[in-house]
Structure 1
Amino acid sequence: MQDVYQIDKTRMRQSFHRAAKQYDAAAILQRQVREEMLSRLDVVKLAPAVILDAGCGTGHGLHALLKHFKQARGVALDIAEGMLARTKTLFPWYRFWQAKPQMVCADIEAMPLATASVDMVWSNLAVQWCNDMDTVLQEFRRVLKPNGLLMFATLGPDTLKELRAASGHGHTHVSRFIDMHDIGDALTRAGFSAPVLDVMHYTLTYDTVESVMRDLKAIGAHNATAGRAKGLSGRGFLQQLRQGYEAFRHQGKLPATYEVVFVHAWTGSQPYTAPGTSPVQFMSSKPATQGA
């Protein structure tokens, strides 16, 4: 049976590609989360040589990271070419001691990067667009060097709870988001150590349901689940959505809640080993010598 929450990556890629030009104007939550993530770097002792921004969007996160870690080189990875094109505009030239970031158009779940090639993986609100958390974290663990840092933010189950409730039953209208505790378990399975996770809730407010939907469209957050309605929603659905959402109006505004899970974890000192394998230890065949 098909998972109705399975993300159609082709549709997702096209949505973010088309949204790239107007993305920054609507990415209010992404900016707030980015600033929160950057503030947490003040207590991190790390001097990365290579930083990967996985799901870089329009590149502002990587731009800030390279200003913070002036000795680092950057890798900007996104599934949408339009987003990478916008990222390039942030780096028309760069400091003489710091090369321009490398641009990689790829899926986070199958990154064309060498094993143990980066010191830090950063990802701001991109992981929720992947289909398998274990696959994502295994990829992050694979590309990180020993003693590397993983730092990401993703969306939790309370995200867009108002829209989910107002949409009613039937087709899927909001993606499935993973609970913080399940993310913690997946980090352990992927071989990360000392994981730290916490949750913050953000609420954006709007005058109308149409404004909520317009902002989601502007950042490319279209419904790309397998269980979405394949045809036009029609006036009947929109009227139902308006009526259902009105139940949440507070002080004249409609809320849109986002549960954001913040994560950081380390790889530890051991080199990466693929799932189901273990390092081979070679024993010396030379006989031990006895003292006189």
Structure 2
Amino acid sequence: MTTPLFDKRHVRRAFSRSAASYDAAARLQHEVEANLLESLDYLDDPKLERPKPQVVLDLGAGPGRASAAMRKRWPKARVVAVDLALPMLREAGKRSGWFRPFDRVNADVRALPFADGSVDVLFSNLCLQWIEDLPAVFAGFRRVLKPNGLLLVSTFGPETLQELRDAFTHADATPHVSPFATIAQFGDALVHAGFRNPVLDRDLYTTTYPDLPTLMREQRAIGATNALRTRRHTLTGRARFAAAAQAYDAFRTSDGMLPASWEIITAMAWAPEPGAPIREGGFEVTSVPVASIPVRRRPR
């Protein structure tokens, strides 16, 4: 049996601790979420003549901003916020008012407790980077989606925090930044699970900080700490942190700020009809050439 790449208990603890501070610190996450929510306009196009969604899942819902937005968009739909961290769902409850309430379920996205073919829209913003087995989790998404149901997700790509990753190589040999799937791997996992007509995009964001401690504090405030099983289980010593900070200074821009890069991969795809094959004949049905996918650099 293969040892999991990520420590799920650490992920749950980190996001549980950050539940109260997440909303105020998650500026990038909110921006990506807003762009992802705009993609739902496609479903409301009258030319498509699609019925309004009846059941919507928000996976990795955190404090429930997207859940509340989708409940407002589709007031007759049942919207369910799903999160691994129970304190996050308690925060989400503050947005689930009596007028437009949404349900909250404490569950792992790798084992969704929902009936087969019961969901119209599956939405997930910046949650899947903590999943090492993408084909398996996408198979679970396909299981709960109705035929022709919509999957709309975002995740981090491998260029994320490349400056931080490089800086810590000057401190020690232990990885301090999680590895992230490439857009090709992400697209192939969708195809492997049988999703139809996948559309993938890449965006590159840059946030800036006066120093390395400020960046690290923001990451702790949103629960985005190193969740690798092979991570160092003791505090980073002063000498190692100083070495990383000195190395990071090489990236300082002309305005004196330290940049942090974030590669965002978004994907929209449709669940197939029942009985559709997961893989045709055991070979690649399609491939996603990275060079053909333009990178949009988001102004900040």
TM-score by length of structure 2 reads 0.86
CA contact (8 A) 1:51 1:74 kept: yes
Partner of 1:284: none
Residue 66 of structure 2 aligns to a residue whose secondary structure is helix
Which of residues 217, 226, 230 in structure 2 aligns to 1:227? 230
CA distance in structure 1 between the aligned counterparts of 2:149 and 2:192, rounded to whole angstroms: 17
CA distance in structure 2 between the aligned counterparts of 1:205 and 1:143, rounded to whole angstroms: 39
Q: CA RMSD in A?
A: 1.7
* TM-aligned CA deviation for residue 120 of structure 1: 0.4
Relative distance call for 1:224 and 1:272 in structure 2 (3 A) is farther
CA distance in structure 2 between the aligned counterparts of 1:29 and 1:217, rounded to whole angstroms: 14
Q: 1:217-256 residue pairs with structure 2 within 5 A?
A: 217-250=220-253, 251-256=255-260
CA contact (8 A) 1:55 1:78 kept: yes
CA contact (8 A) 1:152 1:263 kept: yes
Once the two structures are superposed, what CA deviation does each residue of 1:110-163 show, in whole Å capped at 9, x if it has no partner? 111111111000000001011211111111111100110000000000000000
CA contact (8 A) 2:194 2:278 kept: no
Once the two structures are superposed, what CA deviation does each residue of 1:64-97 show, in whole Å capped at 9, x if it has no partner? 11111222111110000010000111013124xx
CA contact (8 A) 2:194 2:276 kept: no
How many residue pairs were aligned? 270
CA contact (8 A) 1:118 1:148 kept: yes
Residue 201 of structure 1 aligns to a residue whose secondary structure is strand
Q: Mark the runs of 5 or more structure 2 residues left unpaired by the alignment.
A: 280-300
Partner of 2:91: 86
Q: Mark the runs of 5 or more structure 1 residues left unpaired by the alignment.
A: 277-292
CA contact (8 A) 2:71 2:102 kept: no
Partner of 1:210: 213
Counterpart amino acid of residue 175 in structure 2: T
TM-score by length of structure 1 reads 0.88
Counterpart amino acid of residue 264 in structure 2: V
Counterpart amino acid of residue 86 in structure 2: E
CA distance in structure 1 between the aligned counterparts of 2:275 and 2:16, rounded to whole angstroms: 33
Q: 1:38-49 residue pairs with structure 2 within 5 A?
A: 38-44=37-43, 45=45, 46=50, 47-49=52-54
Partner of 2:204: 201
Partner of 1:122: 123
Residue 194 of structure 2 aligns to a residue whose secondary structure is coil
Residue 108 of structure 1 aligns to a residue whose secondary structure is coil
